[in-house]
Amino acid sequence: MKKALPVIIALLLIVIIGGVAFGGKLIDKYSYGKETADLDEYYGVTDAAVGDADGNLAIVLQDKIIEEQAVVKNGTVYFDLNTIRTYLNDTFYVDKGERKLLYTTANDVITAAFDESGYQDREGTHSTEYVVCYMTGDQVYIAAEYVRRFANFSYEKFDRHLQLYTEWGVARTYTIGKATQLRVQGGIKSPILRELAAGETVEFLEEMETWSKVKTSDSMIGYVENKRLTNLDTVVETPVTDYVPEEYTSISMEGKVSLGWHAIGGVGGNDTLAEMVKEGKGINVIAPTWFSLKDSDGELFRSFASAKYVEKAHGYGLKVWGVWDDFNYAMDTKTEVDSYQILASTTRRQEMSRNMVDTALEYGLDGINIDFEELSDEARPHFNQFLRELSVLCRQNGLVLSVDDKVPLNSSNIYRLDIQGLVLDYVIMMGYDEHWRGCQEAGSVASIDFVTGGLDRILEHVPAEKVINALPFYTRLWKTEGTVVSDSAITISNVEECLKNYGKKPEDAGWDDVICQNYIEWQGESAVYQMWIEDTESLSVKLNAMRARNIGGVAVWRLGYGSKAAWELIAAYAGTAK
């Protein structure tokens, strides 16, 4: 027995030690972790703004930490331009070359210079207690307080993060029943974000089996055990409505617009007005192609304008919308014209807008028609700003402002049709050139699906009463010789004569139910000839589609191309037949 005692004692010690170790593991497994979360890592910020210090802030948008961050500089909160455009307001325009920030409303262009504490509007200069905007590297930052002048949102700064609200509704809240911890994830070992006191209110975001995702009063988002939550309640959030945008007013003609473009290649072309009006049965707007962008340094536009022409047109009961384009001067003179150089410069762009309006008033025009068809992708954002700024001047001076757009082929909205629909009086879709001069592919100039598809995409963004569809009073004769494809434009009035020259006549064509045009094809000595004919039948289908969509009117390219029957259709559609 004496010999066995040491063994028994040893075994007991082993059991005791093992039990202690096992119990320790159990205690460790089921005890609450005390590790504190690294808040810089949690919010993803470096050089964090803590207390009164400058630095970066994570953004909690509604109930989610987003990728973008805010900056605190000299005690002022700033957002970068991309964040503002994505979440708050995409109307801000920056001219980095001239170091200016612009915001265009319905009736004003508000300008702030980089690194300055103030801004200018039509009423004068206004000072602010903060620098409105500045640029670091290639990024522009705008003070949150300045942005609030033009958008409804609220924000509150905390250490390392900022709470941003752009929407308001009904929030569900809980009361913390017993002091506990807010953790990064649901689990007792997850790092602690902060301590929660009994009686503290948290916003309920998401419930799991034993944990819930919540947000605290200082906008920390984490997890708390369900057993610590009591007194479910609802709170109706009060929306911020400090900013009330100006109303955009538009000039609308009584009834439908019936516009005919008058192609004028020199001052002598003005003498053909009477002839064009006689042909264009039922038009109520005539648009002479008078003005063409010339260069970016000297005189802005070439002009064929005539006050006598306007006076005569008014005598015929017509409105006159002068056309400004960016291509005719370049084509006529074989001179390269870069519209980007003007549009991207605030000084030159605004000079161009004033020039247009002053010229329109000088000649007594009723409207301005913008036909910029050679815009590069890099020029488009500046073109949108140009339309905004020009619309302010036109609105102030009672001028109709319209723009000519090519048919949008997809939903990419490269024209920013939403902007056009807001600031312009009319948006004209040039419903032709599905297959164009020199495109090396024979086909229709304007099939019905091409036209209706374009209209429907425009109508997603532009009110129907502002939309005008332009019809082609021409077609193309296609010649395919081997692999070489060539074409020539044929006016509606000359289709019959053209076919006659090849021993054909319109009756030889057959109706294509898909394209909704009469189609003719024949074999020549060495080439195949094709024509998708634009005539009263095809025009009737297009006009019916326009009528079904109840759009604002019709335009025609161009006066001098039509037939009596075609013009009668236009007049009947527009309700301008006499």
Tens digit of pLDDT for each residue in 515-572? 999 999 999 999 999 999 999 999 999 999 999 999 999 999 999 999 999 999 999 9
Domain co-membership, 426 together with 459: yes
Amino acid identity, residue 237? E
Domain holding 415: CATH number? Answer: 3.20.20.80
Last residue of a domain, one of 123, 139, 162: 162
Question: Does residue 398 sit within a domain?
Answer: yes
Judged against a pLDDT cut of 70, whether residue 29 lies above it is answered with no
pLDDT, residue 27, reads 55
Residue 513 lies in a domain: no
Q: Look up the domain containing 216 and give its range.
A: 168-236
Instruction: With respect to residue 511, please indicate whether it lies within any of the assigned structural domains.
Output: no
Contact 320, 366 (CB under 8 A): yes
Instruction: Tell whether 349 and 437 lie within a shared domain.
Output: yes
Q: Is 194 left (phi over 0), alpha (psi -120 to 50) or beta?
A: beta
Has residue 1 got a pLDDT over 60? no
**Does the residue 27 lie in any domain?**
no
Q: Is 205:63 a contact under the CB 8 Å cutoff? A: yes
Same domain, 380 and 347: yes
In three-state secondary structure terms, 385 is: helix
Question: Under 8 Å CB-to-CB from 412, ≥6 apart: which residues?
Answer: none
Is the same domain home to 150 and 173?
Answer: no
Q: Is residue 283 part of a domain?
A: yes
User: How many angstroms separate the CA atoms of 517 and 550, rounded?
Assistant: 23
Residue 556 within any structural domain of the chain: yes
Q: How many domains does the chain have?
A: 3
> Is residue 275 located within the same domain as residue 392?
yes
pLDDT at 541: 98
Mean predicted confidence (pLDDT) in 457-482? 98
pLDDT tens sequence across 73-129: 999 999 999 999 999 999 999 999 999 999 999 999 999 999 999 999 999 999 999
- The last residue of a domain, from among 109, 139, 162: 162
Residue 522: CB atoms within 10 A of its CB come to 14
Q: Does residue 424 lie in a domain region?
A: yes
- Is residue 491 one of the residues assigned to a domain? no
281 and 139 in a single domain? The answer is: no
pLDDT-derived band at 221, boundaries 50, 70, 90: very high
> Does 226 share its domain with 267?
no
| C-alpha pair distances (Å), 249 with each of 107, 259, 395 | 10, 22, 8
- Residues 201, 264 share a domain: no
What digits encode the pLDDT tens for the residues 329-384?
999 999 999 999 999 999 999 999 999 999 999 999 999 999 999 999 999 999 99
- Statement to judge: residues 402 and 338 lie in one domain: yes
Give yes or no: residues 292 and 431 share one domain. yes
